Structure 1
């Protein structure tokens, strides 16, 4: 039944897909069943903050959990592309030499605390994500806002906004027409600016931004960076107003993240009043049997074997997240020859066969084989040419090539500490397989995973490599536009955990994001991959396989193999028992 839903989603729009899927699953229910008042939803990541735009938030499960709590002008649909969310508002490109977009918020839009959504919210998102505003620390200019990725927002010249108004005009820099502008100001990107202003003691955010008021912006940034952190059992819901069909009611280790219907929501009321999101760490098998979890969306094998769950239908699907090793560019892997040595002993093809292949794997595109390009998706027109630059140099473990690269680095042996969010049986086995393949070549692999691991350990020297998905995500990740993937290789971005920097790669990424011509995309991506396969800041493996399991009686669950995960349309879910 899930397989049928995938086919529906690929061919129909959001509204039509939801209608058809709901109908097909409702037919599985008995006439004498009753609708359950609450649904449990399990994801495979931590939930540490309300703000999914920070470095920590971007690698957490915030988007998978809160996309219907903090919606935006678009959401990421099941095919990986942005879909307009007109409940929030509309966006229209205006004529002119520079890319200019007019944003209009729904006149009825209001936060759950009664404060209207305004263009101030767009100004805050841009100010935080642009990288423009800096402060001096130890004699160096550093960003005020700890944002994960600046791509797209850094191309914006200004956001024209009358404080408190429902409309804004976003003007991009001359020559910087960001191709994927529809992805900006999307789900979980718009944070409640009135809360940031209240807590920072800044009465007028727009004026502070327009006047470059460093003192005021520093106060805003200090709150934006950490003021929305979420700790189970210590939740201050007064700073968590919702702009979507659900709002946060409670968050505890024993009770999960409780979302309830937002009484001030102006759109269609959620089909189920209560959703409980269970982050990584719960016993999925036990809780599914106890009927406290009805929807599961996790990396296949990361929570054990779910195929035998009684009363559930499950499916394995390749996602848009690229499972990969993200390498440090300092320490023992500071020399690119040392990184090549590690790359040469990783059995990428074997790892795909073992952990990246699905029973109905396509012949081409997402999930068809090892991922050999970091900057373009496997289902793009230019992927095969970009992927060919690997030349099978890194397809299989090559002891001889590893030893040559070790010699080039002036090394006889190499020890690489690999970290990831544990427990994760699949990633644990991947590390074990790589260890076995690398050992004959003189490369020792150490598994240093932990339950509180974050990819920032790569930056602080705690590990030499991170095993994760796109942009360091432990759970659901990836989009068709590759903004997150490209941002993770762009120098200066916080999501670039390995701190890789190459001026030409930066130029290529910037041009890829503004020149949609196929010829340009082809030439630039091939050039970039030639550099990246030489300098090896990452070792891409395969599109992570996701397991989506739903309990009998559930309807309207539509698998979404992107960073939004299945929770993208949770307000349409219904459970009948």
Structure 2
């Protein structure tokens, strides 16, 4: 695993396993040896978006709002601390390269690791993880697009019941998509060994936390006994039994989606230090220390409640009133002013591993002519996005003159290669608004339906302001920008026919050179705008297997230039971050990578062991 050095400005080169961000900000690394649960202790944090899925590995569930919670409830083989550096979590399990040619990796679950219902975590969970994240057993050439609900982004009831389709976005040139051979299961049922078809530079990041195979087997196959259900899942995978794999994949895709506490407690089992115990729709979710957890990251605080507060100023008010103890709202000038006026509050600011951008729908947009399938229309729209005005109006009041445009799809400002790439990638054509140029291009495009419906978080004040600035600027060039804003914007991303452009943030979860690539690769899990370019796919394929850092940067520069040349969309700014917490809590140490404030929640402690005045 190659980790690039980070400058003071934060330089996450091609940082990825990008997740959809509504807001972000996050802690010191404690190996858990000195942790001690304080009975009755509780704390309340605020987040701007509600949880809705325990499966963050689907195109629907891949969002920060989900993965904040999943990170604490679903344990895995490694995680990033706030240095940031990758930490092996050997109390959950170990992994080792048993052969370099071909690349072969063995994953082994540690002794005593259980799900919160007492069922052991074992090779059945790992094998299901492989099947889902490799898609090696999927029905060939199946397209789920026509079975996606345009109002929710979820699959409809019309989804075929005889199709094997794991919605993980795996592709044949990256990650577990390169493991097409069914892994070997050890005799003791604690290990699986995976052989890659070709070397993969970020193999160490390709195997995230597994979901419980026995729960999938029970619900998909109608088996009541946990051990029998696990065995049935393993048999289906090893025998490539499409009849059984079809319901297994369908349940893996959507069975762990919920917006309030399910009646069936098996749908929210935990393997991590915390487990879900309460969940009220659009209000809060409560986590308690998992009594089955025996790992190194044991909880100090018995109960953590996460309240969902979309309005940043309301979050500040809740902190002031003692209703919450920790907030990490989307930073605005008003937020900074409000926090500066509070007593007994610690405020930490910095740059986050999240960037704001506008994506254009290359296919299946809402516009009657599918406006952005037209290259000249894309270029025209990019010329009217007021990037500098957005920065000057909404970001500079927070971080001052240090605020700067992000002018790369791949590199973060301050990263090695950023300046060189920006000088060559063509982004300078969109540094300032060009109304006359946009008018000419729009006329040349032949497009008569100039409506552009933009999807964004309608309950996010900064995004509302950004939308208004874009709408006013675009109107001068003849675009009719309409409002597709929604509080459920995250689930709608990638939904055919729902919108023409989207305004949101991508948040980094790692320092892997490859993990942002699924945003641009044909069919990648983060490819939400139906983008496909053979040149880009070729560069992505080369990056996946390139271990030399200088050659990686050269390829990344080529990729960046290709994306701007194709009028993919525009990047706007790197997020300023702010985390604030009361003097009754300790151990908060924000990270630039997701899950930000939550990454070391097991290290948090209360200075007063009494309950906070939360729910």
TM range (shorter): 0.7 to 0.9
The alignment status of 1:387 with 2:422, answered yes or no, reads yes
Over aligned residue pairs, what C-alpha RMSD do you find?
Answer: 3.2
In structure 2, distance between residues paired with 1:382 and 1:137: 37
SS at match of 1:536: coil
Q: Deviations over 1:539-561 (max 9, x none)?
A: 11122223211111211112122
Q: Deviations over 1:117-168 (max 9, x none)?
A: 1122222112111132323798999861122455412122342223762222
Q: Deviations over 1:392-438 (max 9, x none)?
A: 11111112321232133124783321111221111111112222333
- Which of 178, 182, 186 lines up with 2:200 in the alignment? 178
Alignment correspondent of 1:232: 260
Alignment correspondent of 1:147: 168
In structure 1, distance between residues paired with 2:543 and 2:529: 22
The alignment status of 1:91 with 2:95, answered yes or no, reads yes
The worse-fitting range, judged by mean Cα deviation, of 247-256 and 271-280 is 247-256
Alignment correspondent of 1:29: none
The alignment status of 1:165 with 2:200, answered yes or no, reads no
The alignment status of 1:17 with 2:28, answered yes or no, reads yes
Paired residues of 1:118 and 1:164 also in contact (CA < 8 A):
no
Write out aligned runs for 1:384-533 (5 A): 384-388=419-423, 389-411=425-447, 414-454=450-490, 456=492, 458-470=494-506, 477-481=508-512, 483-533=514-564
The alignment status of 1:73 with 2:94, answered yes or no, reads no
Write out aligned runs for 1:329-408 (5 A): 329-330=362-363, 331-357=370-396, 369-388=404-423, 389-408=425-444
In structure 1, distance between residues paired with 2:394 and 2:278: 36
Alignment correspondent of 2:355: 322
Q: Deviations over 1:434-485 (max 9, x none)?
A: 2233332223322321222236355322211111111xxxxx5553326553
The worse-fitting range, judged by mean Cα deviation, of 156-165 and 394-403 is 156-165
SS at match of 1:446: strand
SS at match of 1:122: helix
The alignment status of 1:105 with 2:109, answered yes or no, reads yes
TM norm structure 2:
0.81
Q: Deviations over 1:269-307 (max 9, x none)?
A: 311100012234474244323423111123223995652
In structure 2, distance between residues paired with 1:138 and 1:190: 25
* Offset at residue 377 of structure 1 (A): 3.7
The alignment status of 1:258 with 2:297, answered yes or no, reads no
Alignment correspondent of 2:275: 247
Alignment correspondent of 1:124: 128
Alignment correspondent of 1:31: none
In structure 1, distance between residues paired with 2:58 and 2:572: 26
Paired residues of 1:324 and 1:541 also in contact (CA < 8 A):
yes
In structure 2, distance between residues paired with 1:463 and 1:302: 30
Write out aligned runs for 1:7-46 (5 A): 17-18=28-29, 37-46=41-50
In structure 1, distance between residues paired with 2:189 and 2:132: 20
In structure 2, distance between residues paired with 1:377 and 1:211: 45
Paired residues of 2:47 and 2:307 also in contact (CA < 8 A):
yes
In structure 1, distance between residues paired with 2:65 and 2:220: 26
* Offset at residue 37 of structure 1 (A): 1.2
Consecutive unaligned residues in structure 2, runs of 5 or more: 1-6, 12-26, 145-159, 222-228, 364-369, 609-615
The alignment status of 1:564 with 2:595, answered yes or no, reads yes
SS at match of 2:537: helix
SS at match of 2:552: helix
* Offset at residue 81 of structure 1 (A): 4.8
Alignment correspondent of 1:267: 295
The alignment status of 1:573 with 2:604, answered yes or no, reads yes
- Relative distance call for 1:164 and 1:74 in structure 2 (3 A) is same
**Which structure exhibits the higher relative contact order, with contacts defined as CA atoms closer than 8 Å and separated by 6 or more residues?**
2
SS at match of 1:314: strand
SS at match of 2:61: helix
Paired residues of 1:235 and 1:250 also in contact (CA < 8 A):
no
Paired residues of 1:319 and 1:478 also in contact (CA < 8 A):
no
SS at match of 2:346: strand
Consecutive unaligned residues in structure 1, runs of 5 or more: 1-5, 11-15, 24-33, 471-475
